[in-house]
Structure formats: C-alpha cells, structure tokens
Structure 1
Amino acid sequence: MAEATTLRKKHEDQGYILQKESALSKAIVAELRQRRGHTAFQWVKGHQGHDLNELADELAGKAAEKSRGNRVSTKVPDRLVVTGARLDAMTQALAYKAIRQRRDAATDPRPRTVKTVKYVLSDLKTDFGADLHERTLWTSLRKKDLITKEARQWMWMVLHDAYWIGNKWLEASMPADLQDRAFCTHCNSLEDMTHILFACEEPGREIVWDLLTEHWQNAGGPLIAPTWGSVLGAACVPIVDDEGARKTTLERRWTILATESAHLIWKLRCERVIGRENEPFSEIEVRNRWYATLDRRLDLERRYAALTEGRKRAKRLHAVEAIWAPLIQDDEDLPPNWVEKCGVLVGICRTPYDRLGQG
C-alpha cells in the first residue's frame, strides 16, 4: 500500500510517470479521499496465522489460477483527478519518459509486430499452458542477467519483424537484380525468420538445435522443442515439478541456452549470406562456434558474479553455479569456489564426437 500512503505525494508530484500500475494507484487514492472518516493502515506480518491475511493469500492463489483476470474499474471521479506533474519535481529524464509514453499511446501497433507476438503467445499457451499478456513478453526481454544486450536487441528486432529479409526484397521499388535475395539459396523458398530459425535445410541450423537439446536434457531439463514461444518467449517458459512448483534454475538455464543458440543461428546465416557467398559452414565449424558462444557466456557470468559486491554477491555466485555446473566438463573435479576464481579454466562439456573432432 506504499503507493497510496508513503509514496503517494511523490507519485502525484511526478504525474505518475514512473509508476507501472498508475491507473490502479490513482483509483485507490481516489477511493481513500472519498471516505469521510480517517483511514489508517496496519502492517501485518505474513504467514503468521492472521485470519484476514490467510484469506488474502487464498484469494490471491485463486486469482493466479484464472486464465483471465477480473475487470476492475479504475475510473476516478472528475473532481478527484490529478493531472500532470509539478514543475519543481520535473527532470529531463522524467520529461523524456512522459513524451515517450504519450507517443507510444498515440501510435497504433505495427501489424507485423502484432502477428509475431501472437505467434509467440500462442505457442506459450499451447506448449506450456501459459496464458500471458503481451506486456509480460516485452518485460521478459529486460532480464539483463539472463539475456545479453546483443541477444536482447536481436529478439526485439525479430518481434517487430524489422530485419530486411524475405518479401521485403520483393517490394515494387526494389531493383529486379536484388529480388533474388528474398529466397533461400539452399531451399529455394521465401526466406523469413520462421524459415531461418525453424525450417531451413542448411545443416547449421539443425546442428545448433541438436546441441541445445542434447546438453539441455543431459543437464536435467525436460524435452522442449524450439518454437516461436520457447525461443522468443524463452524467459516466460514455465518449468514445474510434479507438485506444480516452479523450477527457477531450469527456467533460467533454458533462457540462456535458447536465446544464445537462436541468436547464433541468425549470426551464422548472416555470415554465410554476406561473407561466404552462401557457402555453408562445416559441421565441426558450427559445433565449435556453439561451444565458443556458451564458453564466452559462462566466462561473462563468472566475472560478473565475482565482481558483485554486498549481500547480492553470495546469491549471484550460487545462481551461476546452479545454472552452469551441470553443463560443465568434469564439473565434479572443480574446486568449491570455481565460480569466483576466474583463473580456474572451465568449459562446456563436449560430446564424444566433439572431443574426437578436437583431437
């Protein structure tokens, strides 16, 4: 209730620009102001047998099981509407945020974006029973500890269908000698992101997905097929045990492996088309690139955890070990503090085929 009590004045002074659920907060404050008597709140410690607190937990659990939330009116009476922000509370960053919000509200969604997001949300619901709001998908891309900046930018572009591939080369304004770029030279079919990630016959794509599946399952993960939902919505994939409890470590591991693998497929495709005149990569080249990608990501995770200070340090070190240890070569021989000791050489466990290829 801080938004309606201790933080109320701050939010009102800033015009609720930085608040995520501003409409709900405004409605709650308006209801409080309409009360004739004095209203006070008392904090109650959770899970201590308090009847009303236990009832609130029960109602929250029932609400979480609903596929769609109840409609809640957030209309505020005209006489209680507080508009705008105070000039003495305004900053350049706050003003920029307000401008972006107004522009976003006035901009109609791009049809291609709507179509792509629909694919992702549909797959998540069909494959995992996750009935998610579009906003949840966009928010999941901001998980900086799971998705690198480079992969996050690529996923954002894919969701907006912003890459110049496929039928974009067939537009009337495009010269005839460039229109052949719309087609995949290996499959002789129109090239779009679905084709590149999930259908192309160029062997590099299948090798990457096979490596992902093999290492994911060897590390204790359930079988997950690469789809729009499980890849572009990787950070939204729910993985639960037999009792319905979330397995957060597995969820985080899947997000890292899936996003890095998908982004690698795109990079290999671009290198092949632009720099190799469509000459495919060899199997050993693709495998080495996949291992190198994961090894770099592991090294980045270890260094970031080792540099973390304060109370978050131990939590971060533990998270890195839990996520990566099952994927590491000879993990049983590693010292207890291998995560923070970056001088200890570690790498992703290679299959017998890859070890033979290295030799």
Structure 2
Amino acid sequence: MVKQAHQTAAQLLRPLANIVDLTTSGEITSVAYSVQHIPKDVPIRFVCESLFLRDALCKNLQRWEDTDWLGMPNKLALKDIINVLRQRCAPTSFRSASTHKEWHIIDEGRHLVKHLIDSNGLKTVSMNLDPTLHLSGAKLSNMSQRTAYRLIIQRRSIPERRSTTLTVSAVLLSINLISESLVPAADLWKSIRNQDFRLPISDFLWKCLHCAFRVGRFWAKIPGYEERSMCQYCGVVDSMTHILTECTAPGQEELWSMAGNLWQRKQAAWTKPDLNGILSVGMRRWISERKKRRPFVERMWRILISETAYLIWCLRCERTIGHASDEQWTHSMPELRARWGSTLNRRLHLDIAMTHKRHGRAAIWPTLVTGTWCGTLRDEIALPDDWTKINRVLVGIDPSTYDIWDVG
C-alpha cells in the first residue's frame, strides 16, 4: 500500500500533454506518475480530492469504453492510465479524502505545486503503454443512433467561424474583467444551456454568439437589399448591440426600465446590461456584503435579463418585418407594459407548474421558486409561505414594477 504522500508528490509534476480539462489534471497526473514508478506487484491505494477517478476508472469504466469515452474531456489521458493499470498484477483502489490529516497533506501538495511553478521546477510525465491493451472505437452491440451521430460529428473537423471567435472573445474578456479566475469558452457555451432558460431563449443566445441573425451588415453586400442594413427608426447601421441596447424605437429603453424597477426589489444594484452582459447572463455571480453568493438573486437575474432581451428582439421583428409596409408603426406604451408583464407572469407560472411532483426528477424545489420571485409579487404579504400550492392565477408580478419608468 502506498501512502497519500505519493499522490501529493505526484501532483508536483506537469500534467500529461493530452489533458484538456485542467479541473482534474492534478489527480490524473498523480495516478500516471505513481503507477509508472511503483512495482507492478505492489498494491496502491489512491486518496483523491473527489470521486472523479473512482467513478471514471472503476464504476463507469465499462460504459465509457463502450462509447469510446464520448463526452469525456480528458479521455486520452484516462485511456493511457487504464492501459498502464491493466499491466499491473496487484489491486489498485480509489477513494476520496475523509480525514483532516489527508486533507492537510493535499493542502501541502498545493503549496508545493505553487512553489515549483514559481521556480520552474516542473517536469513532464511519460507513459509506458502496451499496444495490445489499447481499446479504440465504440462497441457496436451497444451503439445507438444518437451515440453514432455524436461520434461521427466528433471526428469531423469543423472550422471556426471568424465572427463567432470575435464575439466569444469579446464576451469572455468582459467576464474575466469581473471574475476572480479565467473563464474558458466551454463554460460560456455551457451557460446558455442553463435549465433556467426556456428553449427559445437558449436558441436565441446561441445564435447571437454565432452572429447567425441576418441583421445589419449582412444585407450591405446584397444588391437591392442594402437598405435593410440600416435601422429604419434610428437611421444608423443595425446590429444586435443596437437592437438590444441602443435603439430609440419604443420598446428597448422602456423594457429595460421595467426590468430595472423589478430588479431593485431584489435589493441589488441595477446596471443596464450591454450585449456582452446579455450573452453571458448565465455566468453572472452576485455576492452579498458577507462575501457569500446569492443563488436566488442569480437565478432571478438569468430569468429577468434573458426574458427581457428576447422580448426586445421579438418586438423588433414585429416592427420591422410584420409591419414593414408601415414605416411609422411602433408599439404603444400600454402594449409594451402588457407584453412585458405577460412575459414575466408566464415565466413565473411556469416555475410554479414545474414544482409539481408529476414531473419527477425534473421537478424543481418550491423553495427555489419562492426564493427567486421573493419581493416581486403582488400582495406578497397576504400570500402563504409556500404560495406554489395555491391557484396560480392569484400569484403574479406586482403591476407597479411596469408602471414606473424612472430607474435610479
């Protein structure tokens, strides 16, 4: 049996070249180093920070190998570790740290890693692989159409779109300016699939990141359609930034004002988001004065900003496409208030409906719904503590939030 110090010392090494996700790189590199330098007939017991390696290498190994490790970021490194472990004749076990002493050793390893990084004392781990133990491809008997399609797509080389790269880079730059750590692009793409977003909104955010909407300069080079590149109301070049945050046509400024009025009821500072803030709405973090995260406020921010931005886009399409023949047509103020209030109330009622037990594992906790919408409801003092169980018609957004136009 090898003590945990072996793993901690191994964390001082540079991760394998085929590691993509750095979240678990320390544990993967530790295992790779240990199994290379310990005799094959000596049992090894790894004590890890998490259960990732136990689940990946033991519990779910058969399932991962049957699908060619589809969806696993560090699959190449893990396949190399499996190759080396299968060369051993002694048992190897994995578990998570449980005692104070074990966590103390891991903390010491972190300090040593930082010291070696500063002094440039890292070295690379090399693996002695056996070609006869290398498994490639997926298992045909367990293949499904969905798995086959994803594997085919994974093998295709998809060129990066220049517009997508520029948009994602700009969004990541704005996020990293206020974030404590660097945010990778993968987290941004994952954030737009947050379960708090309705599917049309997730699709809207995805297309915005890809610059897939045909607005602005898209029409400038098409003969006969050059006028579509200009905003019909403002007379400037159209763009998603202009549509969502700058256009002076009735709709954009008014809806953000109503959103700001509602947001102030959550006792949080309001700042009108720019395009980068809208596209990264799923990653915004709110911290209390006690330096603690506010998950209910964060969820309300995701819902409020995404629903408002998507409604502004829909209103713009109605004005420029649905009423293209009438250049002077615009939405009236009462209609804007009614549309925005109806949108938020439908989203509230959707949350209430999703608390029902008939949804099974997809159901959400009532406390999550009540905490999210707390402070924004009409006659909230008269409602019971768990108002998700009463007739949803009686629960709605306070109309005063969209009757006031001035935001402090």
Equivalent residue letter for 2:150: K
1:117 aligns with 2:168: yes
Match of 1:345 in 2: 394
Match of 2:203 among 140, 153, 178: 153
Task: For residue 260 of structure 1, report the CA deviation from its aligned partner.
Answer: 0.3
- Alpha-carbon RMSD: 3.0
- Could you tell me which amino acid in structure 2 is paired with residue 40 of structure 1? T
Q: Could you report, residue by residue, the CA deviation over 1:274-320 in whole angstroms, capped at 9, with x for unpaired residues?
A: 1233422122221221111100111111111124555775x621101
Show CA shifts across 1:27-73 (max 9, x none). Answer: 44245345x45243253564xx332235447878999xxxxxx9997
Using the TM superposition, name which of 258-267 and 121-130 deviates more: 121-130
Q: Which entry has the higher C-alpha Rg, 1 or 2?
A: 2
Q: CA deviation at 1:98?
A: 0.5
**Cα 1:213–1:353, aligned 2, differ >3 Å: closer, same or farther?**
closer
Matches within 5 A, 1:82-121: 82-103=135-156, 106-121=157-172
Structure 1 residues 87 and 292: CA distance shift in structure 2, 3 A: same
Distance in 2 (CA, whole Å) between partners of 1:285 and 1:262 is: 17
SS state at 2:365 partner: helix
2:92 aligned with 1:40: yes
How far the C-alpha of 1:241 sits from its partner, in A, is 2.4
Structure 1 unaligned spans of 5+: 64-69
Q: Give the count of matched residue pairs.
A: 340
* Aligned residue in 2 for 1:204: 251
Secondary structure at the counterpart of residue 387 of structure 2: coil
Question: Which residue of 2 is the match for residue 66 of structure 1?
Answer: none
**Cα distance, 1:123 vs structure 2:** 1.5
- How far did 1:15 drift? 1.0
Letter in 1 for 2:340: W
For 1:175, which of 223, 229, 241 is the aligned residue?
223
What is the Cα deviation at residue 165 of structure 1? 0.9
- CA contact 1:140–1:235 (8 Å) conserved in 2: yes
Equivalent residue of 2:291, what SS?
A: coil
Moved more, 107-116 or 73-82: 73-82
1:109 offset after TM fit, Å?
1.0
Identity of aligned residues (%): 30
Superposed CA offset, 1:216-246 (max 9, x none)? 1222223343023321111111112244332
Structure 2 counterpart of 1:342, which letter? N
Q: Does 1:324 align with 2:373?
A: yes
Q: Which moved more, 1:178-187 or 1:15-24?
A: 15-24
Unaligned runs of 5+ in 2: 1-53, 114-121
1:166 to 210, 216, 222: 216
- Cα distance in structure 2, aligned partners of 1:290 and 1:71: 58
Amino acid at match of 1:183: M
Question: Hey, what does 1:295 align to over in structure 2?
Answer: 345
The amino acid that maps onto 2:59 is: T
Q: CA deviation at 1:154?
A: 1.0
* TM-score, length-scaled by structure 1: 0.84
Q: Tell me how far apart the structure 1 counterparts of residues 260 and 112 of structure 2 sit (CA, whole Å).
A: 35
Query: Paired residue for 2:267, among 182, 203, 220?
Result: 220
Counterpart residue identity of residue 262, structure 2 = H
Distance 1:300 1:220 in 2: 24
1:87-139 alpha-carbon deviations (Å, 9 max, x no partner) = 22222221011112122xx0111111111111211121224455211110111
User: Residue 39 of structure 2 corresponds to which residue in structure 1?
Assistant: none
With over 3 angstroms needed to count, the CA separation of the structure-2 counterparts of 1:267 and 1:19, relative to structure 1, is same
| CA distance in structure 2 between the partners assigned to 1:72 and 1:259 by the alignment | 45
Mapping for residues 241-320 of structure 1, pairs under 5 Å: 241-276=288-323, 277-278=326-327, 279-308=329-358, 316-320=365-369
